[in-house]
Chain A
Amino acid sequence: MPGVRSPRVLPGFGLSVGFTVFYLSLIVLVPLSAVFIKSAELSPAEFWSVVTAPRVMASYRLSFGASLLAAAINVVFGLLLAWSLVRYSFPGKRIVDALIDLPFALPTAVAGIALTAIYAGNGIVGQYLEPLGIKVAYTPLGVVVALIFIGVPFVVRTVQPVLEDLDVEFEEAAASLGATRWQTVRRVVLPMLAPALLTGFAMAFARAVGEYGSVIFIAGNMPMVSEITPLIIITKLEQYDYVGATAVAAVMLIVSFALLLIINGLQAWTARNNRSGR
């Protein structure tokens, strides 16, 4: 690459890149490396037995299962919400649009106690579900509800701009060729939204897997039943099992890094698709 671009004209490169790398190393990279260094205190066999213990395995099943389910539900309703916000006008639309980001802005602990209050046996919604035999609070279903809440903005906010920029010419062409509206949406519009939908799904899933605050209040936290993986780490820490906590954290970190790479790839795909779509 050197010699290809024009020479650097703007000053401050050394200072700004030096400070950036130093700060990032100090706050993020070196502390994160501690997870892998501490995990290395265990032999591979010990590490494996810690991270595959039955209680930990049950937590993976819950964390990944509930996150998948919540992200899938968010794809469906996120698409409908984005569609309503972009394609229709209705009263209160501006306010709805602004409030989509509430799950980001509302602290997770606040969301957690609010959802628990709503879905507990005597709550606003829980009181009607309880007689039907549906228990949400203090069950794995409660975990899903909390993760749906957390994931809403990711699907809406990735689909919304793509839908906004979508050229209507494609739909006009499909309609003029005799396609019904449903055929046009299914064969023309949805395929163009697919990369954005997948990106939103992956973001919601990645966020849900690591989520802690909004889940622990509503989950009930019963070992083997409604205990999420981040809580396993906390529980081990409280028992001063630092190595065990770190081993489970290492597994979560590896999963997170893999998801980060997938999301980066998906975003590049969305951007490419979006450009060629114009």
Chain B
Amino acid sequence: MAGVASHAFGSRAHAARFERNPAAREPAAVKWIIITVSMLFFASFLLLPLYAVFSEALRKGWQAYWEALVEPDAVASMRLTLLAAAIAVPLNLVFGIAAAWAIAKHDFRGKHVLVTLIDLPFSVSPVIAGLVYILVFGAQGWFGPWLSEHDIKIVFAVPGIILATIFVTVPFVARELIPLMEAQGREEEEAALVLGATGWQTFFRVTLPNIKWGLLYGVILCNARAMGEFGAVSVVSGHIRGQTNTMPLQVEILYNEYNFAAAFAVASLLALLALVTLVIKTVIEWRLGREPHPIGAP
């Protein structure tokens, strides 16, 4: 396909091919107006919030900043956020590989329906993602009576937070892998099998090396959302300090207590995570030579 070459990163850097073409460029004045207006929009809607997080976090100085970060409830929230991501990301990684293997490497009826269903969590409001687990596991829910009889708590406790985190991050890895594995075709795997490899050998020695960057890309995005999720987790959390608060929930509690410097201090760690995510994402895009596409789009 001729499109493959033009999709490569190389073409993205070359705005010059438009700028040097008299038929495809605007007058210099128009060009600079467009650049100025779009950069003003960029600066005021994207850069300014980022700047605000760090400047508010450091408003009371480094000493106060550090104390806010090592405060026991803040540390507990970091631990819970790491735990939720450490469970949700690997599960959705395995799910993503299985889904992509089934969808990209086989033909079957209902494939398009399955792809749409995998995307479903992106189009559901995070609040509803939390609500559904209350309906299933809450005191008045389907399993509520049975759970309380056996003294098991799911909602308003850690398991509910993990479930809600898994829900909102289900599509990330699958969505990156399906188009990638479809584009790579099936010939290499078929060759391996003909040469006598087992199914698992084929997967680990042929498929996995081919998809490793796409896999990492999906995992990075999945992790960012898992650690940053607020709405879904907020519904099922119960907001018990030091126990069922993730970092975003800790930010909310501190903020609502007018402890702004501490709220922004915890928030600044999440903002750093976002920046690291974007750096890794950009590097992988260069390696993969892939075009930008909307992430987490409904």
Chain A residues at the B interface, C-beta cutoff of 8 Å:
1, 5, 8-13, 15-17, 19-21, 23-24, 27-32, 34-35, 38, 77, 80-81, 83-84, 86-90, 93, 96-111, 113-115, 117-118, 123-125, 148-149, 152-154, 156-158, 160-161, 164-165, 168, 171-172, 174-176, 181, 184-185, 200, 203, 206-207, 209-213, 217, 230-231, 233-234, 237, 242, 245-246, 249, 252-253, 256-257, 259-260, 263-264, 278
Contact = CB atoms under 8 A, between A and B. Distances in A.
A17 B298 CA distance: 23
Contact of B136 (A34, A154, A256): A34
Contacts of B49: 106, 111, 114-115, 118, 149
Contact of A117 (B41, B52, B170): B52
13 contacts: A8-B107, A10-B186, A20-B98, A27-B167, A102-B50, A105-B273, A109-B249, A149-B49, A156-B292, A157-B295, A172-B23, A242-B140, A246-B135
B271 interface: yes
Nearest to A102: B46
A24 B102 contact: no
Contacts of A107: 227-230, 247-248, 251, 267, 270, 274
Interface in B255-296: 255, 260, 263-264, 267, 270-271, 273-275, 277-279, 281-282, 291-296
Interface in B220-252: 221, 224-225, 227-231, 234-235, 247-249, 251-252
A35 B19 contact: no
A249 B232 CA distance: 13
B226 to A, nearest CB: 10
A108 B231 contact: yes
A252 B18 contact: no
Nearest to A163: B18
Interface stretch (B62-70, B117-125, B145-153, B210-218): B117-125
B193 A31 contact: no
A176 to B, nearest CB: 7
Contacts of A118: 48-49, 52
B231 A21 contact: no
B170 A28 contact: yes
A29 B50 CA distance: 36
Interface string B109-138: 100001011111101111110011111101
B270 A31 contact: no
Contacts of B15: 86-89, 93
Given A23-B95, A165-B3, A260 B116 contact: yes
Contact of B38 (A84, A171, A231): A84
B74 interface: no
Contacts of B21: 168, 171-172
Contacts of B193: 9-11
A10 B140 contact: no
Given A84-B34, A203-B298, A257 B123 contact: yes
